Structure 1
Amino acid sequence: MLARNLLSSVAAIAVAAGLGGAALAQDVPTVTIIAHENPGDAELAERIEASMAEAGTPVDIELIGIPSSGYPDALSLRLLSGEIPDIMYFQGADAEFANQGILEDLRPWIEQSTYLKDALWAHNVARLENYPYLLYVFPARTKSAVVRSDWLEESGLAAPTNLDEWTEFLRAMSESDFDGNGAQDTYGILAPDNTAELDAIFNPSFGVTATWLEQDGEWIHARVSDAERAKLEYYQMLYAEGILDPEYVTSNWEVKEDKFYTGRVAVVMGTAGPVIDIYRTKMQEINEGSDLTLLAPPDGLEAVNVAKEDRGFAIHAMSDNKEAAFAVLDFLASPEGQFIDRLGVEGEHYTMNGDTVEVLPAMGTWYPRFWTVNPDYWSPPVDLLSDVGQGSLAQGAEYFVPDNAFVWPAELASDVDAAEQYYRSSVFRFVSGEWSMDQWDQYVEGWNAAGGNAMTEYARTVLP
């Protein structure tokens, strides 16, 4: 989001609500929101302000933007400095602030809300009961795999449906020259930063069906299971054969997308729904006539964590403007708020002819900044997703399995972080071949020593 001149937003409300400047300065609350920096968000905020003013709940929205790269760390540093806005968008690192009492329990607010109480998805309700500080009203953030349709056709292969077919398909893509540059420089698949996006579609194929698995009659973390070992051995093979892009560990999401659009990688995973449609639109812009094909996961999708939201919006518990802050979040679940947030900018993303809405091609690059409510509560006046985007959401519903993860107590936070850091660094060593799979037992010992023993001991007290 883009920070903007406070006076311009005050003026916008004055016009919309017909109020005098003196009354605004005294009566209209300012709600500060910190989130990702995105083009077009200043205009979005003005439209939200105008609509809320028309509804009789005027606010002044002040946006504080942080670049996407390194967002969680940058947000934490800002909050630790004492600069805490009314509404915060978290993408990790929220638990430390919840444990300090900085984040508001949202359940009482939602219970008395006008719109949000009826707009939540089932997993939102479960997550709020387990962790009431973070809200993200979206379909579960499952991942879907896509490939260029023309490349799939040129390969002569059918879309893969099981692990063997997936392996054959990815190998064929990595041995191709479908981009026509005369060089064999395309990799079959790429996940940014780590193997998390690979896990999203491959976990079930190896028996990693939950965070905690029963092995030899006891609960153990999937990170140290036989199933995890088999999966990492598969990734090691993909890396060794040049199927998995070896730069995955240094490639962020922007690099991943660039490699996808420019033909350096054949298959990527994207968040189901609008993100998949953004990939499709950008691919068509860069490669005229191209389209995307949605690929089915080999054996379903990874289990969905319902212990807490892994990202979302929180309210500052000590804010002087909690009522106004929640009013913004509640408004965004209203029919008017959904229309504004989900359809984008009139004339750029859609046109209106009376009450008829016509979607423009640029709609494929827009995504809601706040909510996508349960369709039983509100549905858009037109289809906002392509068949590929809608199909990715259908995959998430078809393969939905709830995870058995839970929220860790504060006293184990350092153990959880240390074990995860050890896991991520070890995964790269295994996948890259620096470590052989014969060193698995040493890895398990290291993970346990890094915090896994404490985690497992606690888990066995809370799991049935």
Structure 2
Amino acid sequence: MRLKRLILFTVSAAVALGMLAGCGGGEDGADKAVVIEVDRWYPTSVRFPDPDDDIVLETIRKELNIDLKYDFSTGRSQEWRAKLAARAASGDLPDVIYFFNMMDYRTARSQGYIVPLNDVLNASNLPENLSYITEDMLRSISDDGGLYYGIPNRMGPMLEGMFIRSDWLRELGLEPPRTVEQFAAVAEAFAKRDPDGNGKDDTYGFTSGGCMSCQDFWELLSAFTGLASPDEYLADGELKGGWTSPRYREYLRFMRDLMAAGALDPDMAVNDSNRKTQKIVQGQVGIFHSTGYPADVIRQLRANDPGAEIAYLPPLEGPAGAGYHWPLVGVGTTIGITTKAAKSPEKVRKIVELVDWMNGEEGKRLLLYGAEGTNHVKERGEIRMLQGRQNDYLEVYNLIGDRSKFLSDLDVMKAFHSEPEEFETVKSMIEGGGKRGSVYGLGYAMERSELIDRLKSYREQMAARFIYGNASLDDAGWEAYVRAHDGEYGGGRVREAILLDLQKGGFLQTDKK
């Protein structure tokens, strides 16, 4: 289906974006495909098809007259950030940046290499397939002046959860943990009681992919803090949680004790996602977090150990109660258009057209299912995805977010999770998500980038130091952390700004302060 060509720019919009007036020649020519370069990080390595067999890029060139190119990075996300910063500093920017979290989006916004899009996309001129974008979503990515610098992706069901080696449980005579205390006991047993029976001290209870406050820890955090993040959240008209809260301190003590007991992978702070996966499939890890059902991880593990069994671990109960309160957000990922692309109104128009097409039926189906015979087959009129890593690249190309955003559609769920046990697990993962969101993600409060970026680095550094036992969690140590957090690193000013935003928006009464 061909898209209607959208006239998205007025003279005022072009001025606001600092665009050049001329459009003739070069890649903006009528017959020459418009080159669009996308910079994207993805957590694991991906096998891309040969250019001649790449149905996605071929279709986009044919349907949209766009020559889409990707600068793809994997491994530790911090290395991608350093590479992107170097590109920005040298003026060698891509046209589009896929921001997989809002911290990186806000950094780019504050550093000025992505452009405001208020005059490009707003409630009065949204293309048909971007009609999911709401004013609240745009507010949640706006700066203090109300300018937003991205095209927000649609939100869908969160597909996060932990998985456990059920064969190790059986070998050691253990039950699946249901509480954080039971989790600690099982993790320590997996590390110390030789669950694989090889006579070697080579297993860990739990590992992560590097970041000490990211998805790998969300479920454990939720059990202690009431949110799958130490960020503040609203409950009963009050502001709760936070990185200096007693509940976060209790979580850190729990993790420190696990590390001291040898239950955790000692390299988890320096792993990347690829190294985490490698340890799981090599049979070194008993419990791990997965975004999405870990079908490929299970396949690789069973290739190395045919007797390996993996089971979903429902949300744990802890001091904050039972349930998994993931950070329900107005925007989880967004696409930024750079100052380089903004020099060409035609290029920006084509970027919006591309994103609109990807959200439409033709683009969505292609990016979900790929090519018949290569990525999927049809059985009795239903699509069933073929197993293997040949499908991974579809999500990398997809600028509208991962496939989990569409799993509320049962046909999509059946295509990707056709085995009955897997299908039921995915349903359980979706149902296990709570409905509590941080004040930032829901757009109730603005994150001030001039304060938050340095503060977040300090928080991450101190989380690792506390968990590894390199900083004290006694009263004196905690008070020193709180003083630095609230004073030198601006946490107190951030909280004051949160309170002000909540009061202005009517979400928090003055007497609740």
Give how far 1:221 is off.
5.6
Letter in 1 for 2:33: V
Letter in 1 for 2:490: G
In the alignment, the residues of structure 2 paired with residue 324 and residue 134 of structure 1 have an alpha-carbon distance, to the nearest angstrom, of: 13
Give how far 1:64 is off.
2.5
Query: Hey, which of these two has a bigger chunk of helix by percent?
Result: 1
Q: Per the alignment, in what secondary structure is the counterpart of residue 162 of structure 2?
A: strand
The gaps in structure 2 that reach 5 residues or longer are 1-26, 142-147, 317-321, 503-507, 509-513
The gaps in structure 1 that reach 5 residues or longer are 1-21
Aligned position for 2:485: 447
Aligned position for 1:230: 250
Letter in 2 for 1:29: V
Aligned position for 2:65: 58
| Aligned 8 A contact 1:350 1:359 in 2 | yes
Matched, 1:326 2:334: no
Aligned position for 1:12: none
| Aligned 8 A contact 2:324 2:432 in 1 | no
Aligned position for 2:455: 419
Q: 1:306 to 1:246 in 2, by over 3 A?
A: same
* 1:386-440 Cα shifts (integer Å, max 9, x gaps): 5447634642443222323227768x42432232222222222222223332121
Q: 1:356 to 1:434 in 2, by over 3 A?
A: closer
Letter in 2 for 1:444: V
Q: 2:115 aligns with which of 82, 103, 110?
A: 103
Aligned position for 1:35: 40
In the alignment, the residues of structure 2 paired with residue 421 and residue 72 of structure 1 have an alpha-carbon distance, to the nearest angstrom, of: 13
| Aligned 8 A contact 1:76 1:93 in 2 | no
Q: Per the alignment, in what secondary structure is the counterpart of residue 367 of structure 2?
A: helix
Where does 1:16-415 land on structure 2 (aligned, <5 Å)?
26-36=31-41, 38-40=46-48, 43=51, 46-52=54-60, 55=63, 57-69=64-76, 70-91=79-100, 92-99=103-110, 100=112, 102-105=114-117, 107-108=121-122, 112-117=126-131, 126-131=136-141, 132=148, 133-137=150-154, 139=156, 141=158, 143-196=160-213, 197=215, 199-209=217-227, 211-212=231-232, 219=239, 222-273=242-293, 276-298=294-316, 299-306=322-329, 308-309=331-332, 311-316=333-338, 318-320=342-344, 321-351=347-377, 357-362=383-388, 366=392, 368-369=395-396, 370=398, 371=401, 372=403, 373-374=405-406, 379-380=411-412, 382-385=414-417, 387-388=421-422, 391-392=425-426, 394-406=428-440, 412-415=448-451
Q: 1:392 to 1:108 in 2, by over 3 A?
A: same
Give how far 1:211 is off.
1.9
Letter in 2 for 1:79: A
Q: 1:110 to 1:302 in 2, by over 3 A?
A: farther
Give how far 1:200 is off.
0.4
TM-score w.r.t. the length of structure 2 is: 0.74
Q: 1:254 to 1:446 in 2, by over 3 A?
A: same
* 1:245-266 Cα shifts (integer Å, max 9, x gaps): 2221121212211111112221
Q: 1:192 to 1:374 in 2, by over 3 A?
A: closer
Residue correspondences, number: 433
Give how far 1:284 is off.
2.7
Aligned position for 1:428: 464
For the aligned residue pairs, the C-alpha RMSD in angstroms reads: 3.5
| Aligned 8 A contact 1:33 1:64 in 2 | yes
Give how far 1:130 is off.
1.5
Give how far 1:134 is off.
4.3
Structure 1 vs Structure 2: percent identity of aligned residues?
18
Letter in 2 for 1:108: N
| Aligned 8 A contact 1:147 1:294 in 2 | yes
Q: 1:328 to 1:47 in 2, by over 3 A?
A: farther
Give how far 1:240 is off.
1.1
| Aligned 8 A contact 1:28 1:59 in 2 | yes
Which has the larger displacement, 226-235 or 439-448? 439-448
Q: Per the alignment, in what secondary structure is the counterpart of residue 289 of structure 2?
A: strand
Which has the larger displacement, 281-290 or 379-388? 379-388
Q: 1:384 to 1:43 in 2, by over 3 A?
A: farther
Give how far 1:365 is off.
5.8
TM-score w.r.t. the length of structure 1 is: 0.81
